[in-house]
């Protein structure tokens, strides 16, 4: 028969302490990995939201470009006092500075047209604005068969993602002869 020694009595609680320490370490590892996974999920959701906003802005930009290309006569740009049928804006009439392109209040203006093809899953419909940047007073072009004056337009479009915090502003320049 084995007689318990005095030293084995002191070691009896060591297994419990080591087990509890390992359990705490494994719990901390689990919590840390969950926090990393949560952060990666947020990043993926934000990327998808921004991609949705970009697609919405691109759809509105294409529609604004199509409006310019469909014009059959030279437009008369409107100023900030325009109340209806505000298709082409004078330079600075709608966007006074660069910050205005990002301002949601400017894009909420009912005078700014929204894209006619609604996109599913966006917080706000995409919108576009057409500004007449300048007119070439000399007219003519090096292009064969083109006559008239060159009109330079800037089309600006804003799209919003699934959340109202993600938005993208795109611009294109269009030249049209009238």
Residue with the bigger pLDDT between 2 and 81: it is: 81
Convert the pLDDT of each residue in 7-24 to its tens digit: 555 566 788 888 899 999
Q: Kindly provide the residue ranges of all beta strands, DSSP E only, lying in the chain, ordered along the sequence.
A: 88-89, 127-136, 150-160, 167-177
* Residue 96: C-alpha distances to residues 92, 108, 135, 142 (Å): 5, 16, 20, 34
Residue 168 pLDDT exceeds 90:
yes
Convert the pLDDT of each residue in 46-95 to its tens digit: 999 999 999 999 999 999 999 999 999 989 899 888 887 788 999 888 88
Residue 130 pLDDT exceeds 90:
yes
Q: Which two tokens stand for residue 64?
A: 């604004």
Global model pTM greater than 0.85 = no
């Amino acid at each position: 028969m084995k007689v318990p020694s005095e030293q084995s009595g002191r070691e009896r609680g060591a297994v419990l302490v080591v087990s509890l320490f390992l359990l705490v370490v494994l719990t901390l590892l689990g919590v840390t990995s969950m926090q990393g996974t949560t952060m990666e999920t947020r990043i993926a959701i934000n990327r998808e939201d921004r991609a949705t906003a970009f697609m919405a802005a691109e759809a509105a930009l294409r529609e604004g470009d199509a409006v310019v290309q469909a014009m059959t006569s030279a437009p008369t740009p409107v100023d900030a006092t325009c109340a209806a049928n505000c298709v082409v804006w004078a330079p600075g009439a709608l966007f006074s500075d660069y910050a205005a392109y990002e301002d949601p209040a400017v894009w909420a203006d009912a005078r700014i047209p929204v894209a006619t093809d609604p996109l599913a899953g966006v917080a706000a419909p995409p919108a576009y604005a057409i500004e007449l940047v300048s007119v070439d007073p000399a007219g003519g072009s090096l292009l064969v068969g083109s006559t008239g004056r060159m009109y330079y337009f800037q089309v600006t479009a804003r799209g919003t993602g699934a959340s109202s915090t993600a938005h993208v502003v795109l611009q294109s320049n269009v030249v049209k002869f009238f």
